[in-house]
Homo-oligomer: A and B are copies of this chain.
């Protein structure tokens, strides 16, 4: 394995993979807006109308011609005539002549001849038709104008945006009840190794249950892919080649999680090479855990070989698989990443030149959040179960000091 001799820094590995994958052709479909949470918008969405679509009152009170309130105060009230009431959900029936007002509720539509609303608190109703106003209002006061929220023809949601609850709300406000989204890419998961068995099996001596397929499947769903599991393949090149080819043809991306023996790692690399050009882009990344990661692009599809240890597979999936799925989706990465800041509880040492990822347990203190590193071997899935997130120690550091502020990457 000469490739292992030149370990590539993770950031370079990501760039090489992104460049090799290049522009991705995406399939799109139209789905119901109310079922679109978490999908990626496939094209710019344009506002078909302005919002609000009419002059709306922001308060309970009286729609007026502002000029009629000029100079009014508690010592010198304006006397106006109430000629009706605006019903919610209807246009105002009355036109205002000078000196006239109508009762209006929050959200109600102003008569065309009104240009402001006097709050009920600033007035006193003397009789059914007589109103005293104690405060002048200026043109547009207590009124929302058409187009103040969004204007017809504006791009309201950019292509590549992930739909949250508020995008669903915005689309509904405009009557956009279906939305074009990127079809979730199908991501094949192939587990391999003679020692790996299905989780429902008893583990006799020497056997371990498949953890990675299920953990990856959950992650891939959260990241916007559709996971497709191809089972556990024994340490046999021929079988692995045929399953790999099938998975490759059926799906948009293939993720291998190989067993831990040298032999299965070797035949996984062979299987990846068999899938087409350009093939392996990176074999061996300068990261711990996760050194034996393989990144490849075969005939325009991404193929990733993850290490077999659960923690290694988890960390490298969070870096390389998630990034590649984002590229397949054409997703605009929000500036907000799931990360928080805490103070490190103890020193952590790290080898210079290598990126180290360490699981972290958070604790509250009067001094803010404290990050306690969980030092465990990458074989141990329960070191992740105990963790609230991960921290990354950059390759140019030889460690982190107790008390230092660290950024914690949360995970799904």
- Chain A residues engaging chain B, CB cutoff 8 angstroms: 33-34, 37, 49, 51-54, 56, 58, 60, 86-92, 105-109, 144, 148-150, 156-157, 164-177, 193-197, 199-212, 214-219, 221-222, 235, 259-264, 308, 310, 314, 334-341, 362-364, 369, 376-377, 379-385, 387-389, 408, 410-412
| B residues less than 8 Å from A412 (CB atoms) | 37, 164-165
* Cβ A201 vs Cβ B215 within 8 A: no
Determine how close the nearest CB of chain B comes to the CB of A1; give it in whole angstroms: 11
* Cβ B338 vs Cβ A341 within 8 A: no
Whether A195 contacts B381 in the complex (CB less than 8 A), given A166-B314, A209-B173, A336-B362, comes out as no
* Cβ A334 vs Cβ B388 within 8 A: yes
Scoring A173, A193, A204, A208 by chain B CB atoms within 10 A of each residue's CB, the highest score goes to A173
Whether A208 contacts B336 in the complex (CB less than 8 A), given A194-B89, A382-B170, comes out as no
Determine how close the nearest CB of chain B comes to the CB of A342; give it in whole angstroms: 9
Cβ contact of A381, chosen from B173, B334, B340, cutoff 8 A: B173
Whose C-beta in chain B lies nearest to the C-beta of A361?
Answer: B335
Cβ contact of A109, chosen from B205, B310, B334, cutoff 8 A: B205
Whether A89 contacts B206 in the complex (CB less than 8 A), given A51-B382, A108-B261, A385-B157, comes out as yes
Whether A199 contacts B218 in the complex (CB less than 8 A), given A89-B207, A166-B411, A262-B60, comes out as no
A337 to B168, CA, bound (A): 23
Whether A169 contacts B34 in the complex (CB less than 8 A), given A207-B89, A261-B105, A382-B150, comes out as no
Whose C-beta in chain B lies nearest to the C-beta of A176?
Answer: B199
* Cβ A379 vs Cβ B58 within 8 A: yes
Determine how close the nearest CB of chain B comes to the CB of A310; give it in whole angstroms: 6
Determine how close the nearest CB of chain B comes to the CB of A345; give it in whole angstroms: 13
| B residues less than 8 Å from A92 (CB atoms) | 206
| B residues less than 8 Å from A148 (CB atoms) | 377, 380
Cβ contact of A165, chosen from B60, B167, B218, cutoff 8 A: B218
Determine how close the nearest CB of chain B comes to the CB of A253; give it in whole angstroms: 18
Whose C-beta in chain B lies nearest to the C-beta of A148?
Answer: B380
| B residues less than 8 Å from A381 (CB atoms) | 51, 149, 166, 169-170, 173
A279 to B248, CA, bound (A): 59
| B residues less than 8 Å from A310 (CB atoms) | 169, 173
A383 to B156, CA, bound (A): 11
